[in-house]
Chains A and B, each alone.
Chain A
Amino acid sequence: MAIMRVSNLKKSYGNLEVLKNVTFEIEKNDVVAIIGPSGSGKSTMLRSLVYLEQINGGSIQVGTEYLVQDGTYATSQEIKRMTSKMGMVFQHFNLFPHLTVKENLELAPKIVKGEGEAEIRKRSEELLAKVGLSDKAGAYPAKLSGGQKQRVAIARALMMKPEILLFDEPTSALDPELTGEVLQVIKQLAEEHMTMIVVTHEMGFAREVANRVMFMDNGEFIESGEPESFFTNPKTERAKAFLQRV
């Protein structure tokens, strides 16, 4: 069953069309890798799913509700309810620098969801253990490496128990030797059947972890399919050309 349906998504800045007729579905437990050249609209597409970008036309359906239907958005309260089902991990982590790791994790469950302290603490300890950072609970983000920051950001997103987790180039801002620890965490989430959409330039990771690869170029999806067949035998010329370059 599809938990997210996107149809005919359009977005332009002035005369520049950045998204043209983007259509796809996300099934529960999907791990979808979105790849494509820089500037092809991957990030814009992903960000529009959580209302960080507004689209000019098309529909986004979350579960059975419409976040936006034929270019008309739901009320701000409905938008908030739907986007709360999604978590987001950013390229530049966006941790709150004035809060410790633990506070970064616990602030949103506390003030947004009003959950109890014991419940929150239990979950933050579990999640920090899961991303291998239990010893950093009291540290401020400034003291962490890029890879550690991104793992904290993943744990922070998971604190809100999202149904879908979105990653916007989660390793692009990292030194090469630090990407592994972050990809490892995402891989583990995939094994636990977390539904994820990952915009990435890590082809090896896309091939190994995703169950579907979608190739975007110039504001539209050109080709999508199983990673194995996509990477060994791309059908379109543009995908072939892209894969030869990377």
Chain B
Amino acid sequence: MSLDYLIRITIPMLQGAQMTVLLFFIAIIVSIPLGFLITLMAKSSNKGLAAFAHTYIYVLRGTPLLLQLLFICFGLPLLPVVGEYLVMDRFVAACVGFILNYAAYFAEIFRGGLLAIDKGQYEAAQVLGFNKWQTTTKIILPQMFRVALPAVSNESISLVKDTALLYAVAVPELLHFAQTAVNRDFTIMPFFVAGIIYLLMTLLLTLFFKWLEKRTKFE
């Protein structure tokens, strides 16, 4: 096992990891605000909106992400009439799937965060004259995010690993290149390398969230 060989298999995997990282950032950046929006809908006094949000969360959490990805990539184009307009680039389709799925999880996490906030906080804000927007942005959201942080951290790490599902919709990413190398060279080494790359990514993420939790300890 030469160093040359290691470098030769690692380079395409790192290129594949770019897809992984790109998907991770797109999914996290869009699904967190979307998740929060769904939380607000679920808590809305409008019964229709609330029912929609709860159904959304139920369906997206209650079915496998893999099924959702296959559905979007290969299922939607088969729909009569509208199907031909729903053919998306595989990577784009995968992004849509990840965003919709993770938004449902984040919505539940944030809902828990909101429940943890004492009603005295709303009352104090009201008596001090804050309007609804000021109360939400200055008082409630910062506390909600703080409460939700450990769970958000956990979800983010799951997301890194779930990106491997791109493999199933044939978007070349980290795992795809590892598998290719294993088949071609008949060696287990590429799987180790892939594992180490995933571990490095989750390590960075873990350290980032540790730092964030420490910074927002409010003590």
The interface of chain A, by Cβ under 8 A from chain B, is: 50-52, 80, 83-84, 86-88, 90, 92-98, 107-108, 111-113, 140-143, 156-157, 160
Q: What would 7 A/B residue contacts be, using CB atoms closer than 8 Å?
A: A52-B123, A52-B126, A52-B127, A80-B129, A93-B120, A97-B218, A98-B142
A residues within 8 A CB of B120? Answer: 90, 92-94
Which of under 10, 10 to 19, 20 to 34, or 35 or more describes the interface residues of B?
Answer: 10 to 19
Other than the known A93-B120, A98-B142, what 4 A-B pairs have Cβ atoms closer than 8 Å? A80-B129, A98-B143, A108-B130, A157-B128
7 tightest Cβ-Cβ pairs between the two chains A and B: A94-B124, A94-B120, A108-B128, A112-B129, A88-B127, A140-B218, A98-B142
C-alpha gap A90/B128 in the complex (Å) = 12
Q: Give B119-143 interface residues, CB cut-off 8 Å to A.
A: 120-121, 123-124, 126-130, 134, 138-139, 142-143
Say whether B128 contacts A160, CB under 8 Å: yes
* B129, B134, B146: the one within 8 Å of A84 (CB): B129
Which residue from chain A places its CB closest to the CB of B137 in the assembled complex? Answer: A111
A residues within 8 A CB of B127? Answer: 50, 52, 83, 86-88, 157
Does B185 make an interface contact (CB < 8 A)?
no
A residues within 8 A CB of B130? Answer: 108, 111-112
C-alpha gap A52/B128 in the complex (Å) = 12
How many A-B residue contacts, CB cutoff 8 Å? 61
User: What secondary structure prevails in chain A residues at the interface with B?
Assistant: loop
Q: A156 with B128: in contact, given A52-B123, A98-B143 (CB under 8 Å)?
A: yes
* B123, B129, B138, B143: the one within 8 Å of A97 (CB): B143
* A51, A86, A95, A142: the one within 8 Å of B219 (CB): A142
Which residue from chain A places its CB closest to the CB of B134 in the assembled complex? Answer: A111
Does B4 make an interface contact (CB < 8 A)?
no
C-alpha gap A169/B20 in the complex (Å) = 56
B residues within 8 A CB of A157? Answer: 127-128
Say whether A142 contacts B218, CB under 8 Å: yes
C-alpha gap A113/B121 in the complex (Å) = 19
B residues within 8 A CB of A111? Answer: 130, 134, 138
Say whether B134 contacts A94, CB under 8 Å: no
Does B89 make an interface contact (CB < 8 A)?
no
Q: A90 with B123: in contact, given A80-B129, A108-B129 (CB under 8 Å)?
A: yes
Q: Give B123-172 interface residues, CB cut-off 8 Å to A.
A: 123-124, 126-130, 134, 138-139, 142-143, 146
